[in-house]
Structure 1
Amino acid sequence: MSRWDDRERAAMVALLRRTATEKGERELVQQLAEEASAVALLRERLAPVDLFSDPVDEAIAQAAEEIASWEQSGIQVIALRDDRYPHRLRDVFDRPPLLFARGTVLDEDNGVAVVGSRVVSSEGRSTAAELATRLVERGLSVVSGLAAGVDTAAHRAALTAGGRTVAVIGTGICKHFPPENRDLHREVAEQGAVFSQFWPDRGPDKTTFPLRNGTMSGYSLATIIVEASERSGTRIQARKAVEHGRPVILMQSVIDRTQWGRVTAGKPDVHVARSAREAMVIVDALLDRPKQLESLLTRIG
Structure 2
Amino acid sequence: MEARFADSTDTAGPVWDDRERAALVALLRVRPQRLSWRDITAEVTAEGSARKVWEKYVTPGLFGEEEEPVRHAAHEIAAWNAQGLGFLTFLDGDYPVRLREIHEMPPVLFYRGTLVPGERAVSVVGSRAASERGLGIAATLARNLVEREITVISGLAKGIDTAAHTAALEARGRTVACLGTGVEMYYPAENRRLQERIAQQGLVLSQFWPDTPPRQQNFPMRNAVMSGYGRATIIVEAGEKSGARIQARQAVAHGRQVVLTDFVVANNEWARELVDRPGVHVAGSTREVMDIVENAVFDQQSADDLIARLVELARWSHQQSNGR
TM over 0.5: yes
In 2, the alpha carbon distance for the partners of 1:272 and 1:35 equals: 44
Q: Which of 180, 189, 204 is the equivalent residue of 2:199? A: 189
- Stretch deviating more after TM superposition (4-13 or 154-163): 4-13
Q: Which of 107, 110, 122 is the equivalent residue of 2:120? A: 110
- Code of the aligned partner of 1:200: P
Q: Classify the secondary structure of the residue corresponding to 1:288.
A: coil
Aligned to 2:27: 15
- Code of the aligned partner of 1:288: D
In 2, the alpha carbon distance for the partners of 1:268 and 1:19 equals: 38
1:197 is displaced (CA, Å) by: 0.5
Q: Which of 8, 14, 38 is the equivalent residue of 2:50? A: 38
1:61 is displaced (CA, Å) by: 1.5
Aligned to 1:229: 239
After the TM superposition, which residues 66-81 of structure 1 pair with which residues of structure 2 at under 5 Å, given as runs?
66-81=76-91
Please tell me whether residue 288 in structure 1 is matched to residue 299 in structure 2: yes
In 1, the alpha carbon distance for the partners of 2:200 and 2:20 equals: 29
Q: Classify the secondary structure of the residue corresponding to 1:34.
A: helix
Q: Classify the secondary structure of the residue corresponding to 2:301.
A: helix
Structure 1: state its 5+ residue gaps.
Answer: 295-301
Q: 1:127 to 1:76 in 2, by over 3 A?
A: same
In 2, the alpha carbon distance for the partners of 1:21 and 1:123 equals: 51
Please tell me whether residue 276 in structure 1 is matched to residue 286 in structure 2: yes
- Code of the aligned partner of 1:218: G
In 2, the alpha carbon distance for the partners of 1:278 and 1:113 equals: 16
1:114 is displaced (CA, Å) by: 0.3
- Code of the aligned partner of 2:19: R
In 2, the alpha carbon distance for the partners of 1:21 and 1:230 equals: 38
1:22 is displaced (CA, Å) by: 9.8
Q: Classify the secondary structure of the residue corresponding to 1:82.
A: coil
Q: Classify the secondary structure of the residue corresponding to 2:69.
A: helix
Is the Cα–Cα contact under 8 Å of residues 250 and 272 in structure 1 kept in the other structure?
yes
| Structure-2-length-normalised TM-score | 0.85
In 1, the alpha carbon distance for the partners of 2:218 and 2:299 equals: 34
Is the Cα–Cα contact under 8 Å of residues 32 and 58 in structure 2 kept in the other structure?
no
Q: Classify the secondary structure of the residue corresponding to 2:259.
A: strand
Structure 2: state its 5+ residue gaps.
Answer: 4-15, 306-324
After the TM superposition, which residues 41-52 of structure 1 pair with which residues of structure 2 at under 5 Å, given as runs?
41-49=53-61
| Structure-1-length-normalised TM-score | 0.92
1:7 is displaced (CA, Å) by: 0.8
Q: Which of 258, 266, 271 is the equivalent residue of 2:268? A: 258
Q: Classify the secondary structure of the residue corresponding to 2:209.
A: coil
- Code of the aligned partner of 1:226: V
Q: Which of 209, 219, 225 is the equivalent residue of 1:215? A: 225
Aligned to 1:298: none
Aligned length: 291
1:23 is displaced (CA, Å) by: 6.7
Aligned to 2:66: 55
Q: Which of 120, 131, 142 is the equivalent residue of 2:152? A: 142
After the TM superposition, which residues 82-101 of structure 1 pair with which residues of structure 2 at under 5 Å, given as runs?
82-101=92-111
Is the Cα–Cα contact under 8 Å of residues 47 and 53 in structure 2 kept in the other structure?
no
- Code of the aligned partner of 1:18: V
1:293 is displaced (CA, Å) by: 11
Q: Classify the secondary structure of the residue corresponding to 1:114.
A: strand
In 2, the alpha carbon distance for the partners of 1:89 and 1:168 equals: 13
Q: Classify the secondary structure of the residue corresponding to 1:248.
A: strand
Aligned to 2:185: 175
In 1, the alpha carbon distance for the partners of 2:56 and 2:134 equals: 52
- Code of the aligned partner of 1:45: Y
